[in-house]
Structure 1
């Protein structure tokens, strides 16, 4: 998928003028409407078009990690692995990775090959090559947009996002607040941060001069763009994460009418990025791919590894791999997970720094995983950052004399639409919309009863040309969980509004509404995926100030200086507390 196409308008063409009668009295639908997924997209959604992890081809082989016995030389994993790899290949197994830091290889094996390997004296164990996934994106409802001013009047510091200020980053490199990096201040200069994720929009203006090296571990080349082999965009996850770490000052992309011309700036605006693409277009990967990327990060001179992904459980190979990176001077920072449960792996690994999410009021995000392993929290609700060019959407709405603030759903098509505001209730049936007509209308939907895509399909088939998702049970300015459209299919432009706007819109049902969604290069989303790179960026600032520090010293400074939240001292909900860049620098030995 390239830039947004106005696919939502396809539903309008299907609603002929002569169908202006009520369409849903008996669950009827407007004739010819295209809504939701279409035939032929199943293979793409399942990753059968070459977008799945390259080590899980559907060839009947099982992806595994094969560990070898060290024998009398427990220190030289590489020599043990070399001989083990030769033996593995001799069985017919397809070796896909040979590791340096652990005595193991990744391979795809048939049942017969596995039988032979399990009975070899060289093989210590065979581990499942687990499926790991991105920890986001969870679209947030909305936050108040900056005041309406002319581009000339916008100061450079308008690039400073709410989350950036919350972690004190500008206080480190722009102490006087003039929007210019202070001479000699720590900015991440000289520090490499490795982003193991979905790749990057390499042409995004915010990353000009930022990428030191990149590698695509799915396609096995050095083009780590967040795209499939047919040019379709991925989820944008890695681009959003990378912007939080190191978006450049004053290099903004397209922001919309009320955004800063400079876009936004990252926590460590002069840090160098190493981009390792491991996630496929659906946000999935194999554990073995991540282990390969970690060793590549080390070979490229990374000091920080940022992991906004995870899944599965610890194995001997993963524990040794993370321990090796720590011993070799790298700090691994990982997202705690978005399930609202215990800290997921690998954030829970003893050699990894686990990060949970809080909102702008320093309250725990409801989705953020917690537990004894949690080290720190950082902004993870309604986070503004970079997105593949043109795939974000800036939304404006007007209803009669009012202009309520709104936020486009993630992956919503763009365009201008208008029509009468119609109450569609929960959007859970084909007769949910009161007074629906096939002339077209703007649907007002209360989310939660059915998945968003199902509600969208239901109301579009009744004639809706645009959809507004309310937040009647959410606090004003709060967030609604997972308002996102599928990447494929035919959809109308869709936005969400907060409680205050929902109350106002209910009073204007039947009025004329107009929505305008413009393509931009940024988006707001939520998740611990967004929290982890804030900590990665702060760690880069510390190493920028003191290159001689060990990972243990950096971690101690981050944890001892964190803003204590919740009960006094470290706790399973907030860990040591909210990461704070200026305070951490002051705690350095």
Structure 2
């Protein structure tokens, strides 16, 4: 472990930011930000225009009247002999209807967003953890604005890699909106704080979301007995966290269309502020804020416990 006081090339002027800022000041790292929507509600028109949303699922049916033609579609393919996994363009549409349902909810919520599809599920909702990983990783590498993942894996061997991938997406400003499992079991990646995790509520209002004061599931969206697009241009009524998730993904697309410079943590805050169960009361100064304390900045201390 290197000493805390050493200077590395990575922290010199002109180099990338790492763990400290040395030789530079605020004027050297300007950020053009967006204060975000007041109260969590987007200012002005917010239809999803200009926002790229990727549905990592079973594909999206081409030309469904409630979805429209996807901007582009890909499929994750694993070679039976070599085991090599690739992501390839496809025109095969949807294998089981699940992805079309999710895309339709996104389209209904953010009608002008750009929907892309990455197929990781086969017929009968079948899929494997390595295919899911490959599809999600590819979507993150393409730097989509929002990734809808109404899927999860219970395989703990993928948890560490998924966690690292979710963090990479967060820092790259790709927002992963991930569905909680429909049963009380451990699954991933919805369990990670770097994604926006979603379960379903049973309220009648189809345009209402709630904040969960007892995470790890952070938000609840309409996912009980909802009407969704399905194969063959049809619609069905169905229930599940899978269908609450694209509603929240659509809300993210709407927010980003009105406030394109918002970060992932700002999106979470906007969803929190606009949740139907969050009450807004006048803030009072916290007693500790007027009581100065000695500085405990990271630069004031040194921890050599790992040397």
Scaled by the length of structure 2, what TM-score is found? 0.67
Q: Name 2:120's counterpart in structure 1.
A: 278
- Report if the CA contact (8 A) 1:342-1:371 is conserved: no
Displacement of 1:371 in angstroms is 6.0
- 3-state secondary structure, aligned to 1:218: strand
Q: Name 1:290's counterpart in structure 2.
A: 132
Structure 1 Cα separation of the partners of residues 214 and 131 of structure 2: 27
Displacement of 1:553 in angstroms is 0.8
- Report if the CA contact (8 A) 2:145-2:173 is conserved: yes
- 3-state secondary structure, aligned to 1:186: coil
What do the CA deviations read for 1:289-322 (whole angstroms, capped 9, x no partner)? Answer: 2222223223434111111111223632111111
1:198 aligns with 2:58: yes
Q: 1:235 aligns with which of 96, 102, 119?
A: 96
Aligned pairs for 1:540-579 within 5 A = 540-564=253-277
Structure 2 Cα separation of the partners of residues 548 and 284 of structure 1: 37
- Report if the CA contact (8 A) 2:190-2:197 is conserved: yes
Displacement of 1:225 in angstroms is 3.2
Aligned pairs for 1:143-158 within 5 A = none
Q: Gapped runs of 5+ residues in structure 2?
A: 1-9, 11-40, 79-86, 206-211, 281-307
- Report if the CA contact (8 A) 1:195-1:274 is conserved: yes
Aligned length in residues = 225
Q: 1:326 aligns with which of 170, 176, 197?
A: 170
- 3-state secondary structure, aligned to 1:357: strand
1:381 aligns with 2:242: no
Q: CA 1:235–1:545 in 2, change beyond 3 Å: closer, same or farther?
A: same
- 3-state secondary structure, aligned to 1:205: coil
Structure 1 Cα separation of the partners of residues 240 and 92 of structure 2: 22
Q: CA 1:222–1:379 in 2, change beyond 3 Å: closer, same or farther?
A: same
Aligned pairs for 1:121-200 within 5 A = 185-200=45-60
Displacement of 1:224 in angstroms is 5.3
- 3-state secondary structure, aligned to 1:325: helix
Displacement of 1:221 in angstroms is 3.1
Aligned pairs for 1:464-483 within 5 A = none
Structure 1 Cα separation of the partners of residues 73 and 109 of structure 2: 21
- Report if the CA contact (8 A) 2:42-2:255 is conserved: no
As a proportion of its length, which structure holds more helix? 2
Q: What RMSD, in angstroms, separates the aligned Cα atoms of the two structures?
A: 2.7
What do the CA deviations read for 1:38-85 (whole angstroms, capped 9, x no partner)? Answer: xxxxxxxxxxxxxxxxxxxxxxxxxxxxxxxxxxxxx9xxxxxxxxxx
- Report if the CA contact (8 A) 1:343-1:373 is conserved: no
- Report if the CA contact (8 A) 1:298-1:330 is conserved: yes
- 3-state secondary structure, aligned to 1:285: coil
Q: CA 1:208–1:287 in 2, change beyond 3 Å: closer, same or farther?
A: same
- Report if the CA contact (8 A) 2:110-2:254 is conserved: yes
Structure 2 Cα separation of the partners of residues 323 and 537 of structure 1: 21
What do the CA deviations read for 1:323-378 (whole angstroms, capped 9, x no partner)? Answer: 00111111111111111x2563211112111111112347xxxxxx9963010000
Structure 2 Cα separation of the partners of residues 208 and 559 of structure 1: 31
1:215 aligns with 2:74: yes
- 3-state secondary structure, aligned to 1:221: strand
1:345 aligns with 2:188: yes
Structure 1 Cα separation of the partners of residues 173 and 131 of structure 2: 21
Q: Name 2:159's counterpart in structure 1.
A: 315
Structure of greater Rg: 1
Q: Name 1:304's counterpart in structure 2.
A: 146
Q: Name 1:354's counterpart in structure 2.
A: 197
- 3-state secondary structure, aligned to 2:190: coil
- 3-state secondary structure, aligned to 1:243: helix
Q: Name 1:526's counterpart in structure 2.
A: 239
Displacement of 1:235 in angstroms is 2.1
Structure 2 Cα separation of the partners of residues 371 and 287 of structure 1: 28
What do the CA deviations read for 1:207-229 (whole angstroms, capped 9, x no partner)? Answer: 335x22211113753115345xx
Q: CA 1:560–1:532 in 2, change beyond 3 Å: closer, same or farther?
A: same
- Report if the CA contact (8 A) 1:336-1:370 is conserved: no
Q: Name 2:6's counterpart in structure 1.
A: none
- Report if the CA contact (8 A) 1:308-1:529 is conserved: yes
Aligned pairs for 1:505-524 within 5 A = 521-524=234-237
- Report if the CA contact (8 A) 2:149-2:176 is conserved: yes
Displacement of 1:276 in angstroms is 0.3
Q: Name 2:215's counterpart in structure 1.
A: 372
As a proportion of its length, which structure holds more strand? 1
